[in-house]
Amino acid sequence: MSNGPISIASEKCRGCKKCVGTCPFGAIRMNGKCAVLRPDQCRGCMDCLQSCPIGAVTAAVDDVTDHQTLGAHRGVWVFAEQYQGKMREVVYELLAAGRSLAKERACDLAAVVLGHNIAHFAPPLIAAGADTVLLADHPELARYEAETYTDALHQLIVRHKPEILLAGATAVGRAFFGKVAVRAYTGLTADCTALSIDLSACLLNQTRPALGGNIMATIMTPHRRPQMATVRPHVFNMNVPDPARVGQILLEALELAPASSRVIRSVASDPSVNIADSDIVVAGGRGLKKAENLALLHRLAEHLGGVVGVSRACVDCGWISAARQVGQTGKIVRPKIYLAFGISGAIQHLEGIRGAETVIAVNSDPYAPIFDVADLGIVGDLCVILPALLEVLGGQSAPDCGQP
Ligand SMILES: Cc1cc2nc3c(=O)[nH]c(=O)nc-3n(C[C@H](O)[C@H](O)[C@H](O)COP(=O)(O)OP(=O)(O)OC[C@H]3O[C@@H](n4cnc5c(N)ncnc54)[C@H](O)[C@@H]3O)c2cc1C
């Protein structure tokens, strides 16, 4: 019996209840000696398919992509997010990752640009590794609007059938990729930190932290296409662009209805809080002891031409905005120099500084884990070291760094 993503053949079912025990959502129950589906509970995870020893549980034909259709999907796509005439850096990082995936799958890599008057974006995307650039140029796409973007990308998916679709885990990528996945009736893994191809099954391994960052989970989408993932900025390195690369540009005509909502005004956030792209990050942790001492970090950052970042402890204490948090649930930074004052080096924090070229740590505890990743470690009291540094740089007496 069906009505949902799976079908249970009552004439075959022997009542072994294995599918009942397997379903994580309690969507299969026994009706006499036969298992039956509760369609309203079924989430289409397909776990039950493997559990039935006699093949009585199958994917509903009208609902799941059959193998023939799976095979029709080909190519790796990167959603090339642009904002106010500039391409997001994460796009180039994804093109580098996408190139490796496309090579393994022996297929093309495409970049998809949505917007209006966007032709100038194509050459740099090709130079960065795209074989094809799909340009969906439409006045309705001039400004990001989730409903219209979803509609546009979904139309392109239906038209071209990509196998893999990647986007940056930016505010825009996070907001509308989920909607696209729902529309395309496929899976989406958000915030991936690693991607690879399982060549035996031709599947995308989508790896991301799970269970509070304590384990890395690798997620696959075996029954649906495209396989969709968002990836956090700064996880992958971008390739050196090759302006001599040749690629094709496809102009995609789309039928788009006017969006039901309109952006009346947008207010830019403070650009000084963009810690992700700074070459120098002066970061502080709970060892600063009180919010007022962040002023010392700001002064040092000013001297060095950098920005202030913090550990989550500082954000949790209410000392500073979460926009400056570095780490797994904050920003991933990739500065030339990362200075860590009074930061212990918890795994979730280190997750955010893996790409830092040089880490300099000041901590009073010689066994603090931050020293395991530091290129230069200073065991000492930041309340002595930080004011002394400022005095040397600024030539004036530093403020008092007292106790909380
Ligand atoms: C799901 C999850 C996600 C998380 N995400 C993040 C994240 O994105 N980013 C993040 O940072 N954390 C994150 N955390 C929290 C993380 O586990 C740590 O609790 C946090 O990073 C600790 O911050 P801290 O190093 O500032 O504080 P502490 O661990 O308390 O360390 C303070 C350090 O300061 C040193 N110190 C104290 N006094 C002085 C002094 N006078 N001079 C010099 N050193 C001194 C101490 O020796 C100590 O090493 C997350 C946790 C979970 C569970």
User: For every one of its 404 residues, what pLDDT tens digit does the chain have, with 9 covering 90 and above?
Assistant: 445 678 899 999 999 999 999 998 898 999 999 999 988 777 767 778 889 999 999 877 544 455 557 778 999 999 999 988 899 999 999 999 999 999 999 999 999 999 999 999 999 999 999 999 999 999 999 989 988 999 999 999 999 999 999 999 998 998 899 999 988 889 999 999 999 999 888 899 999 988 766 788 999 999 889 999 999 888 899 999 999 999 999 999 999 988 877 778 877 766 667 898 899 999 999 999 999 999 999 999 999 999 999 999 999 999 999 999 999 888 989 899 999 999 999 999 998 998 899 999 999 999 999 999 999 999 999 999 999 999 998 866 666 666 66
Check pocket membership of 284 for ligand 1, CB cut-off 6 A.
no
User: What distance in Å separates the CA atoms of residue 232 and residue 282, rounded to the nearest whole number?
Assistant: 22
With a 6 Å cutoff on the Cβ, whether 209 touches ligand 1 is no
285 Cβ below 6 A of ligand 1: yes
| C-beta atoms surrounding 99 within 10 Å | 18
Give Cβ neighbours of residue 168 (< 8 Å, ≥ 6 apart). 79, 81, 88, 90, 91, 93, 94, 230, 231, 232, 233
Whether the CB of 363 sits within 6 Å of ligand 1 = yes
Query: Rg for the chain (alpha carbons), in Å?
Result: 25
Q: Is 122 exposed, middle or buried (0-12, 13-18, 19+ CB in 10 A)?
A: buried
CA distance 106 to 401: 59
Ligand 1: which atom is nearest the Cα of residue 385? 42
CB hemisphere CA count around 40 (13 angstroms): 0
Residue with tokens 């999907």: 73
Q: Classify strands 34-37 and 28-31 as parallel, antiparallel or unpaired.
A: antiparallel
CA–CA distance, 259 with 299 (Å, rounded to integer): 46
Distance 364 CA to ligand 1 centre (A): 13
CA atoms within 13 A on the CB side of 193: 17
- Residue intervals of the chain classified under CATH 3.40.50.1220 are 272-394
C-beta neighbour count of 402 within 10 angstroms: 10
**What would the two tokens of residue 302 be?**
């000013």
Enumerate the CATH 3.30.70.20 domain ranges in the chain, comma separated.
6-64
- CA dihedral of 363, 368, 373, 379, whole degrees rounded to 10: 30
| CA distances for 190 relative to 53, 180, 320, angstroms | 33, 13, 27
Collapsing DSSP to helix, strand or coil, 70 comes out as helix
Q: How many Å apart are CA 343 and CA 404, to the nearest integer?
A: 17
DSSP 386: H
The CATH topology of domain 272-394 is: Rossmann fold (3.40.50)
357 vs 127, 245, 306, 341, 369, CA distance in Å? 26, 29, 15, 17, 18
Q: What is the reported pTM? A: 0.65
Q: Where are the CATH 3.40.50.620 domain residues in the chain? A: 69-251
Separation of CA 195 and ligand 1 centre (Å): 28
CB of 342 within 6 A of ligand 1: the answer is yes
Mutate to test the pocket of ligand 1, among 312, 350, 364, 384 (most ligand atoms within 8 A of CB): 312
Query: What's the rounded Cα separation, in Å, for the pair 296 and 160?
Result: 55
| Neighbouring C-beta atoms of residue 347, cutoff 10 Å | 12
What fold is seen in the domain 69-251? Rossmann fold (3.40.50)
Residue-level length of the chain: 404
Residue 329: CB within 6 Å of ligand 1?
yes
Cα gap 229→344, rounded to integer Å: 32
Q: Which CATH class is domain 6-64?
A: alpha beta
Is residue 387 within 6 Å of ligand 1 at its C-beta? Answer: no
Beta-bridge partners for 326: 331
